[in-house]
Structure 1
Amino acid sequence: MNKKQHLLFSIFSLLLFAGTMNSQEKTSHPKNEFRGVWIATVVNIDWPKTNTDNVEKEKADYLELLETYKKLNFNAVIVQIRSVGDALYPTALAPWSRFLTGKEGVPPDPYYDALAWMIEEAHNKGFEFHAWMNPYRATFDLNKEILSPAHDVFQHPEWMIEYGDKIYYNPALPEVQEQLTKIVKEVVDTYDIDAIHFDDYFYPYAVPGKVFNDTDSFNKYGSGLTLDDWRRKNVSDFIHTISTTIKASKPWVQFGISPFGVWRNKSVDPKGSDTQTTSTNYDDLYADPALWMNQNWIDYIAPQLYWSMDNPRASYSKLVQWWAENSNNTPIYIGHAAYKIKADADKSWDIATEIPTQIDFLREFKNINGSAYFSAKSFNGKNYDVARLLEENQYKYPALPVAVPNLKRNITVVPTVNKFAKNSAAYTFSIQSPLDTKVRYMVVYGAKHLSKINTNDATQIIDKIAVHAINNEITFSIPAQKMKPYKACAVTFIDYAANESAPTVINLK
Structure 2
Amino acid sequence: MFHRFRYIFLFFLSLVLLMSLESPKLLSFPVSQSSELRGVWLTNIDSDILFSEQKLSDSIVTLKELNFNTLYPTVWNWGYTLYPSKVAKQAIGIEIDPTESLQKRDILQEILDQGHRKRMTVIPWFEFGFMAPADSELAKRHPEWLTQRKDKSTIWLEGKVHQRVWLNPLDSNVQKFITDLVLELIDNYDVDGIQFDDHFGYPSDFGYDPLTVQLYQQEHQGKLPPTNHLDKDWIQWRADKITEYMEQLVQTIRLRTSKVIISVSPNPQAFSLESYLADWHKWEKKGLIDELVIQVYRSKKEDYLRELQSKELQIAKARIPVGIGILAGLKGRPVNRKNITEQVTIARENGFAGVSFFFYESLWNMADEPAEKRRTLFKDLFPTSAIHPNIIRGWSPQASKG
TM-score of the two chains, using structure 2 as the length reference: 0.77
1:93 equivalenced with 2:90 (yes/no): no
Change (3 A) 1:121 1:97: same
Q: How far did 1:17 drift?
A: 8.6
Q: How far did 1:190 drift?
A: 1.2
Q: 1:364 matched to which residue of 2?
A: 349
Moved over 6 A (4+): 7-10, 15-18, 24-27
Alignment counterpart, residue 314 of structure 2, candidates 321, 325, 329 = 325
1:83 equivalenced with 2:38 (yes/no): no
Q: Conserved in 1, the CA contact under 8 Å of 2:42 and 2:72?
A: yes
Query: How far apart are the structure 1 equivalents of 2:308 and 2:375?
Result: 22
Query: How far apart are the structure 1 equivalents of 2:208 and 2:333?
Result: 37
Query: How far apart are the structure 2 equivalents of 1:90 and 1:17?
Result: 37
Q: How far did 1:25 drift?
A: 9.7
Q: 2:124 matched to which residue of 1?
A: 131
Alignment counterpart, residue 379 of structure 1, candidates 358, 363, 378 = 363
Q: How far did 1:135 drift?
A: 2.5
Alignment counterpart, residue 304 of structure 2, candidates 281, 303, 316 = 316
Q: 1:158 matched to which residue of 2?
A: 144
Query: How far apart are the structure 1 equivalents of 2:201 and 2:390?
Result: 31
Q: 1:293 matched to which residue of 2?
A: 284
1:401 equivalenced with 2:388 (yes/no): yes
Q: What are the equivalent positions in structure 2 for 1:60-79 lying under 5 Å apart?
A: 60-79=54-73
Q: Conserved in 2, the CA contact under 8 Å of 1:332 and 1:370?
A: yes
Alignment counterpart, residue 355 of structure 1, candidates 326, 340, 345 = 340
Secondary structure at the counterpart of residue 335 of structure 1: strand
Q: Give CA deviations for 1:252-274 in whole Å, capped at 9, x if unaligned.
A: 101101011x212xxxxxxxxxx
- The code of the aligned residue for 1:335 comes to G
Q: Which has the larger radius of gyration?
A: 1
CA RMSD after TM alignment: 3.1
1:389 equivalenced with 2:380 (yes/no): no
Query: How far apart are the structure 2 equivalents of 1:227 and 1:76?
Result: 38
Query: How far apart are the structure 1 equivalents of 2:121 and 2:361?
Result: 19
- The code of the aligned residue for 2:339 comes to E
Q: 2:328 matched to which residue of 1?
A: 338
Secondary structure at the counterpart of residue 73 of structure 2: strand
Choose between structure 1 and 2: higher helix proportion.
Answer: 2
Query: How far apart are the structure 1 equivalents of 2:50 and 2:16?
Result: 43
Q: Which has the higher contact order (CA 8 A, sep 6+)?
A: 2
Q: Which runs of 5+ in 2 are unaligned?
A: 1-5, 22-26, 89-93, 148-153, 157-162, 226-232, 397-402
Q: 1:217 matched to which residue of 2?
A: 211
1:195 equivalenced with 2:189 (yes/no): no
Q: Conserved in 2, the CA contact under 8 Å of 1:135 and 1:198?
A: yes
Choose between structure 1 and 2: higher strand proportion.
Answer: 1
Q: 2:151 matched to which residue of 1?
A: none
Q: 2:247 matched to which residue of 1?
A: 240
Q: Conserved in 2, the CA contact under 8 Å of 1:331 and 1:369?
A: yes
Change (3 A) 1:371 1:25: same
Query: How far apart are the structure 2 equivalents of 1:281 and 1:32?
Result: 28
- The code of the aligned residue for 1:126 comes to R
Query: How far apart are the structure 1 equivalents of 2:62 and 2:297?
Result: 22
Q: 1:48 matched to which residue of 2?
A: 50
Query: How far apart are the structure 2 equivalents of 1:26 and 1:185?
Result: 29
Secondary structure at the counterpart of residue 194 of structure 2: strand
Q: Conserved in 2, the CA contact under 8 Å of 1:308 and 1:354?
A: yes
Q: 1:177 matched to which residue of 2?
A: 175
Q: Conserved in 1, the CA contact under 8 Å of 2:122 and 2:191?
A: yes
Q: Give CA deviations for 1:333-384 in whole Å, capped at 9, x if unaligned.
A: 110001159826xxxx44x221112112111233x21111100012244544
1:35 equivalenced with 2:38 (yes/no): yes
Change (3 A) 1:81 1:318: same
Q: Give CA deviations for 1:424-448 in whole Å, capped at 9, x if unaligned.
A: xxxxxxxxxxxxxxxxxxxxxxxxx
Secondary structure at the counterpart of residue 330 of structure 1: coil
Change (3 A) 1:125 1:333: same
The worse-fitting range, judged by mean Cα deviation, of 30-39 and 167-176 is: 167-176
Change (3 A) 1:188 1:359: same
Query: How far apart are the structure 2 equivalents of 1:194 and 1:73?
Result: 18
TM-score of the two chains, using structure 1 as the length reference: 0.61
Change (3 A) 1:173 1:363: same
Q: Which runs of 5+ in 1 are unaligned?
A: 1-6, 50-57, 265-279, 410-509
The percentage of counterpart residues that share the same residue type is: 22
Q: Conserved in 2, the CA contact under 8 Å of 1:26 and 1:364?
A: no
- The code of the aligned residue for 1:90 comes to P
